[in-house]
């Protein structure tokens, strides 16, 4: 199933060129965040908010042309606008629920007098966020491919992940490995572009280097490092975004329907005993 979905992904990316528009948009926002937002914190926050609001538009439109097997612009825009809130609103509900859960876990610690450390907050946040992301991973697919509404799409995602837990876990691992391999390769390209500066820094005292922040290292690398980082992140977004969307859609379409639990007809007597018809 995963292998077939993986190879179909490349067919989708070839047959539906509009899938690449998501990578172009997210890549452009990433470049703006690095080159401009780094000097203007308020603008950086605005760009991140913009990417958050644009992503449901891209997902809905991309899933729409995959669903219709029609890669024209009107189909993309029809699904992007028509299913925008079906993708955005469940995401807001999920984020809010995860945030509330983290706060509820931190409150007892504060009441017991032990102020949570940053490391503890991080691990609690990860312990809450990862299950939330895993169980609601396919909510957007149900929203677009199955026309389900806010809570129905979340509920269906939880059900199908529980029923296909090992398949879903393996799919996510394959996805992470592919994207990690791509990122690893781009990191080598980044080092190749800055080889001379990297050689100078590598000759420095290791203790001095370990004490430096990321911003200080980039300052030593010079303005070329910023441009190289922006270029690498653009390529990463350009490839990773459409690949992830297409791979997820291809895999979801192979998961099948959620099994229904058969309800047996019967009746309870006055003592609470149940008798089947």
Residue 245: per-residue pLDDT:
95
- Digit-coded pLDDT (tens) for 213-234: 666 666 666 667 778 888 888 9
Note the pLDDT tens digit of each residue in 235-250.
999 999 999 999 999 9
Residue 54, domain member (yes or no): yes
Give the model's pLDDT for residue 263. 46
167-211 pLDDT per residue, tens: 999 999 999 999 999 999 998 888 887 777 777 666 676 776 666
**Residue-number span of the structural domain to which 100 is assigned:** 2-256
Do the domain assignments include residue 276?
A: no
pLDDT score of 237:
92
Q: What is the mean pLDDT of the chain?
A: 84
Asked if residue 87 is part of any domain, the answer here is yes
Q: In the chain, which residue ranges form alpha helices assigned H by DSSP?
A: 2-15, 20-35, 41-68, 73-82, 84-111, 118-135, 139-145, 150-163, 165-193, 195-202, 206-211, 214-221, 223-255
> What does R_g of the chain's alpha carbons equal in angstroms?
23
Q: What pLDDT, in 10s, does the model give residues 108-161?
A: 877 776 677 777 888 888 999 999 999 999 999 999 999 999 899 999 999 999
| Residue 261, pLDDT score | 45
Whether 277 has a pLDDT exceeding 60, the answer reads: no
Residue with tokens 């296909």: 164
Quote the percentage of the chain above a pLDDT of 70.
Answer: 79
Please indicate whether residue 245 or residue 104 has the higher confidence score (pLDDT): 245
Least confident of 67-71, 162-166, 240-244, 257-261: 257-261
pLDDT band at 276 (very low <50, low <70, confident <90, very high): low
Give a yes or no: residue 210 inside a domain.
Answer: yes
Q: What is the pLDDT of residue 121?
A: 82
Answer whether residue 166 is part of any domain: yes
Q: How far apart are CA 144 and CA 262, in angstroms?
A: 27
Residue recorded with tokens 């991309």: 62
Plot region of 46 (φ>0 → left; ψ -120 to 50 → alpha; else → beta): alpha
Is pLDDT at 274 greater than 60 in this prediction?
A: no
Could you give the number of structural domains in the chain? 1
Banded model confidence at residue 38, pLDDT cuts 50, 70, 90: low
Instruction: Indicate whether 137 belongs to any domain.
Output: yes
Rounded to whole angstroms, how far apart are CA atoms 168 and 141?
Answer: 14
What per-residue confidence (pLDDT) applies to 161?
Answer: 92
Length of the chain equals: 277
């Amino acid at each position: 199933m995963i292998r077939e979905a993986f190879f179909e992904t490349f067919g989708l990316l070839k047959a539906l060129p509009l899938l690449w528009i998501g990578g172009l948009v997210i890549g452009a926002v990433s470049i703006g965040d690095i080159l401009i937002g780094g000097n203007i914190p308020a603008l950086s926050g605005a760009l991140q908010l913009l990417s958050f609001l644009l992503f449901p538009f891209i997902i809905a439109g991309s899933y729409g042309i995959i669903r219709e097997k029609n890669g024209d612009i009107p189909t993309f825009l029809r699904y992007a606008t028509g299913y925008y809130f079906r993708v955005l609103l469940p995401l807001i509900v999920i984020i809010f629920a995860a945030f509330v859960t983290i706060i509820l876990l931190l409150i007892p610690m504060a009441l017991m007098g032990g102020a949570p450390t940053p490391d503890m907050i991080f691990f609690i946040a990860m312990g809450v966020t990862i299950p939330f992301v895993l169980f609601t991973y396919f909510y957007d697919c149900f929203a677009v491919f199955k026309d389900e509404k806010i809570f129905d799409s979340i509920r269906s995602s939880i059900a199908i992940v529980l029923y296909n837990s090992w398949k879903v876990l393996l799919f996510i691992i394959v996805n992470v490995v592919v994207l990690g391999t791509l990122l690893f390769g781009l990191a080598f390209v980044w080092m190749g572009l800055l080889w001379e500066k990297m050689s100078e820094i590598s000759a420095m005292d290791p203790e001095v280097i370990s004490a430096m922040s990321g911003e200080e290292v980039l300052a030593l690398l010079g303005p070329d490092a910023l441009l190289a980082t922006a270029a690498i992140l653009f390529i990463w977004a350009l490839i990773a975004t459409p690949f992830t969307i297409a791979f997820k859609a291809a895999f979801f379409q192979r998961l099948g329907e959620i099994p229904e639990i058969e309800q047996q007809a019967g009746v309870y007597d006055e003592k609470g005993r149940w008798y089947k018809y």
